[in-house]
Structure 1
Amino acid sequence: MATTPSHATFLLNSTCALRRIGAGHCGSVWANPEDDAGSVVKREDGGPGRSLSNDYTIHRRLLESLRGFDVSSIESQINIPSNPTFVRQDDPFWDQVLANLPVGYTACNGLISERIPSMPRSSRNLLIEKYCTASLSEKISKDKNNDDCIIRPYLGRRRHNREGASTSRFAAFTLRNYPLNADQMEELGLDMPRYARAMGDALAFMHWKVGIDANDVEFVLAPKRSTMQGTNCTLGGALFPEGCLDEHALWILDFDCCRLITMDDEGIDRCVAAYYRNDPFYPRPGKQDVTDVKTWEAFREQYLSRSGALLLGREEKVTGLPARFIQQLVLRVDDFKSGRHNGQVGR
C-alpha cells in the first residue's frame, strides 16, 4: 500500500478511540471524533458480495475523469471525497489503528478517504425542532452520535401526499444520514429543481464521462471541504445558498456497486435499473404534484444538456443514448413500482 499521508496520517496519529460514524451493506465507517475535517476509514465488514476494492477503483476513475475537465462549465457544485487509498487486510496500517477500535475488531480490507464534514449545529437543531418528537428532542440534541450529521436529499419520495394527512413524528430519530424527503425540502424552502439539476449534471458525468452505471451511489448534503483540503474534486463552482439550512454542497460517495457500461441498449438497461434500484435521490417522472413535475423536468433538461456536451463529436448511435435513457425512465417507471422488473443490476 502506498498510504496517502494527507488522509491516513490523521487516523494513524489519532490518540483517541475512533468513532463509528456510519454503517452500510459494504461495511462500517470510522473517524476521529475530534477532527471533522480529517479522514475516514471504511472497513469491509458488511454483507457478502460487496467490494471495497471496486469502490476504490471506481472512486479513482471518477477523480481521474475530472482531470482536464472544464468544471467551470457546470453550474452546481458536486464534491467527491479526495485521495482514496485502499488498504489490504495484511497492511501495517492496521497494527496502529486497531488499538483505537473497539475490542474484538480485526484487520480487514479498508478504504481511507477524505471525511465529508458534518452539518453545523444550527442545521442539526432545525431538523430536531421540526421533525423530532418533543419528548426525545433534548436527548437527540445531546447525543454525540448525532453530531455526525449529513443529509440524504430524497427528491423522489414524499412522506405523504399534499391532500393526505401529515405524517406523525416517529419516536426513532437519528441525524446520521438523515433522509430529507421532497415534502420536507419544500417545508424548508429549498430549491428542489436546483438540486435536481445538480444530480442531472452528476449522473450525466458518471454515465458519459466516467462510463459507469452509477449503481447504488449516494448523494448527501454537507458543508464544503475546508480550504486546507481544497483540491479540484468538484464538478462545479457554486455552493447551494444559505437558507433554512446552512450553506452546503452536494457530495457523491459509495461506488462499490458501480460497474462499467457498454455504449448500447444493454448499457442503457443497466443505467435505468440502477436509477430505480437506488434510494429515491433522483426525481421520478409521471408524478402529479406540480413541484415534482418541475423537479423532474429540471433533472431531465440538465441531464440531456450535459450529456450532449459530453458526447459532442461522437457517432450518432452513441449521442442518441442519453435521450433513450430518459425515454426508458418514463416508459418503465410503472414496471419498477409494481415489481414487474426484476430490479437486478449485474455485478
Structure 2
Amino acid sequence: MAVQIGAGMQAAVFDFEEAGNFSGAMKEYRDNANLATNLQHEYSLHVSVRHAFDRYERIVKSGVRVPRVRGHVSAGDVVYWKHNLARFPAAKALSGHFYPRDDVDVPLDPESVVKILDDSPSKHCLARTYLGRENGHFTREDFSLRNFPLYLKPIEELGLDVKALASAMGKAFAIMHWGAGVDGDDVEFVLGSSVARPAFKGAIVTGDNQLFIPHYGKSPELYAAFKDGYMDAGQAILKIWGMESKFNMEDFMKEYEEYAEDFLG
C-alpha cells in the first residue's frame, strides 16, 4: 500500500515498501496535466539530469545521488491503473520519506529522541541542507523530521564537513548546467540514509536554490568551496566536449556573484 509523504504544486508524493525495497511515486493533479510544466516535462528534465550524472559522475566525483525514475505513466494507461490504482490511498493523509538511523549519536534528550523517532511522519526522514542560511526557528508543535530544514550552524554543530557538502553541491550544479543543459532552478539537496547502510547520501529534489548555495559574502570560505567544486567539474565536462576554450568558468562565476550582490544582498 502506498503512503502519501508529501504534496506540491503539481502532484502528491507517495512511498511504497515491498519486501524491504523502497520506491516512490508522484500522482499528478488532474488540472496540472495540461500545463507546460506538467509531470511529463519534469520527467524529461529528470531523465536528462540522471543521464548526465551517469555519464560524468565518475569523472567529477560529486558524491551526489540522483533518484532513478522507472518511467512516466499517463492517465490513459489503462493496464497500469487497473493493477495499481487501489494501492494509492483514497484520503490525502500525510505520513511520512527516506530512512531513519537506528542509532542516534547526537547529544539530545533521550526522551525527546524516542518521541521524535516514534512519530509517524518522522519515519521518512529527509533533511534539507541549507548552507545559504545560518539558522532557522522551530516550534514544538510543527517539529518533524520530514522535510527537516538543516541550516548551516546546526550542520557545523553536528560535525558534518560543510566544505565537502558545498563542493559537492557545486559539482552537482555544474553537471546539471554543462552536462544536462538544465538550469537547476528549484533544485534541492537533501540528506537521507539507506535502509541497508545508514550513511548520509545526497539526492536532488525540488526547492529553492538560494537556501542551499553558500552565501558568497556571509560565508566566503564555504562559498569558495562551492565555487571551486563547480569550476573544476564544469571545466572537466567542457573538456570532454572539446569546448573548454569556448566558456570561461571564472567569468561565469563572477557573473553569478554580481547577481548575488544585486539581488541577494
Scaled by the length of structure 2, the TM-score of the pair is 0.82
Residue 90 and residue 222 in structure 1: after superposition, are their counterparts in 2 closer, same or farther (change >3 A)? same
Contact persistence 1:285–1:329 (CA under 8 A): no
User: Per residue, is there more strand in 1 or in 2?
Assistant: 2
Task: Indicate the percent of aligned positions where both proteins have the same amino acid.
Answer: 29
Aligned residue in 2 for 1:44:
28
Whether 1:56 and 2:37 are equivalent positions in the alignment is no
Q: Among 248, 251, 267, which residue is 2:203 paired with?
A: 251
> How far is the alpha carbon of 1:71 from its aligned partner?
3.3
CA distance in 1, matches of 2:124, 2:170: 27
Whether 1:119 and 2:104 are equivalent positions in the alignment is no
Aligned residue in 1 for 2:247:
319
Aligned residue in 1 for 2:230:
303
Q: Among 172, 176, 188, which residue is 1:206 paired with?
A: 176
Residue identity opposite 2:42 in structure 1: D
> How far is the alpha carbon of 1:158 from its aligned partner?
1.3
Whether 1:89 and 2:38 are equivalent positions in the alignment is no
Count of paired positions: 255
Whether 1:337 and 2:261 are equivalent positions in the alignment is no
Contact persistence 1:30–1:41 (CA under 8 A): yes
> How far is the alpha carbon of 1:206 from its aligned partner?
0.6
Residue 66 and residue 286 in structure 1: after superposition, are their counterparts in 2 closer, same or farther (change >3 A)? closer
Contact persistence 1:118–1:223 (CA under 8 A): yes
Residue 66 and residue 333 in structure 1: after superposition, are their counterparts in 2 closer, same or farther (change >3 A)? closer
> How far is the alpha carbon of 1:225 from its aligned partner?
8.1
> CA offsets per residue over residues 182-241 of structure 1, 9 Å max, x none?
0010110111000011011111111111111011112111225869xxxxxxxxxxxxxx
Q: CA RMSD in A?
A: 3.1
Residue 216 and residue 47 in structure 1: after superposition, are their counterparts in 2 closer, same or farther (change >3 A)? farther
Aligned residue in 2 for 1:24:
8
Q: What runs of 5+ residues in structure 1 fail to find an aligned partner?
A: 1-16, 106-115, 161-166, 228-245, 258-276, 339-347
Residue identity opposite 2:216 in structure 1: P
Contact persistence 1:150–1:178 (CA under 8 A): yes
Contact persistence 1:152–1:177 (CA under 8 A): yes
Contact persistence 1:36–1:117 (CA under 8 A): no
Residue 327 and residue 178 in structure 1: after superposition, are their counterparts in 2 closer, same or farther (change >3 A)? same
> How far is the alpha carbon of 1:70 from its aligned partner?
5.2
Scaled by the length of structure 1, the TM-score of the pair is 0.65
> How far is the alpha carbon of 1:64 from its aligned partner?
2.6
CA distance in 1, matches of 2:18, 2:2: 9
Q: What runs of 5+ residues in structure 2 fail to find an aligned partner?
A: none
Aligned counterparts, 1:93-242, within 5 A: 93-103=80-90, 117-123=98-104, 126=106, 129=108, 139-159=115-135, 169-224=139-194
Residue 279 and residue 47 in structure 1: after superposition, are their counterparts in 2 closer, same or farther (change >3 A)? farther
CA distance in 2, matches of 1:47, 1:99: 21
Residue 76 and residue 39 in structure 1: after superposition, are their counterparts in 2 closer, same or farther (change >3 A)? same
